[in-house]
Amino acid sequence: MTTSGAIQKRSLGHTGIEVTPIGLGVMQFSGSRGIFRLMMRDLSQEQMNVIVKTALESGINWFDTAEMYGSGRSEQGLANALKAAGKQDDEVVVATKWSPLLRTAANIPQTIDDRIRFLSGYTIDLYMVHQPWGFSSPEAEMDAMADLVKAGKIRSVGVSNFNAEQMRRAHAALAKRGLPLAVNQVQYNLLHRKIETNGVLEAAKELGVTIVAWSPLASGLLTGKFHKNLEMLSQAPFGRRMRLRRSIQRSRPLVEALEELAAEYDATPAQVALSWLVNAHGETVVAIPGASKAHHAEQSAGAMKLRLSDLHTAKLDVLSRAFRS
């Protein structure tokens, strides 16, 4: 594998909170509870402990969860796993999200103590509005978030799945309170590059906002495992299976290129895809692949040691341009 030396951390926006280019998303820790029940299978606490321990030992220093992931089950599972690994609060970075569904900004201060309780002593380093679906404006939501920062209950503020205009409004509202907008967490991968054409990536670069890429491996498509063995689709949870089936043939040329580069770099196709994602735009993009097994976390972390050549970065860019719209 062609390595880039020691893992260099990146600041979440202008907050000074430093994270590794690859974090660990723990939506899987919600199991079969809540709105993701058709997409997830239950993990035991012991399994969560092993996944988190492996991620930490592989160099990952931050974790992304949310209220929506099992109404606290993911948050609590993460906190338990960090404790089992012997990690102190100041040794890790934890991000979670407030669910705006059928709520107003007034709910933000009302539910923050639940987030703190489930995280059981681990600071909320980054708190995000999960979707732009609330009954309040971005300005009202950011004002409530800023109050939490001032009260010392969270360290920084972000948004998730906001479009360019909504992100700019959130940024401006926080600026009035003397705070930066840390991140916009959005879907971004080689098979979903819409943020490059809809203004989100451009605005993030302009404002100094970090893009946190969720589903960075396109629900496993970019690993190549489903292309090699279509029968594996039957093992995937129902909701995920339907999405994967629609995308297999269209993504085949790109996945074949990932496999060729993986052989050249002594890496995996997933590592090649992740390396492209977190390096193609300088330090603007970080990623949060999930893991249902420990080796998933270890392999994802390995992408931080891989640096593609300019030629290979450009090759993947060309092969995936059809996925920009």
> Average of pLDDT values for 79-107?
98
Residue 230: the pLDDT is: 57
pLDDT digits (tens, 9 = 90+) for 216-272: 999 889 998 766 655 656 565 555 555 565 677 788 899 999 999 999 999 999 999
Residue 32 near residue 42, CB atoms below 8 Å: yes
Of the segments 3-12, 40-49, 304-313, which one has the largest average pLDDT value? 304-313
- Domains of the chain (ranges; CATH) run 10-220+270-307 (3.20.20.100)
The half-sphere exposure of 152 on its side-chain side, counting CA atoms within 13 A, is 0
Burial class (CB in 10 A: 0-12, 13-18, 19+), 272: buried
pLDDT digits (tens, 9 = 90+) for 272-304: 999 999 999 999 999 999 999 999 999 999 999
Output 231 or 320, whichever has higher pLDDT.
320
pLDDT digits (tens, 9 = 90+) for 123-180: 999 999 999 999 999 999 999 999 999 999 999 999 999 999 999 999 999 999 999 9
Q: How far is CA 294 from the centre of its chain?
A: 17
Q: Which two tokens stand for residue 238?
A: 């129902």
pLDDT digits (tens, 9 = 90+) for 101-128: 999 999 999 999 999 999 999 999 999 9
Residue 127 designated active-site: no
pLDDT grade, residue 53 (50/70/90)?
Answer: very high
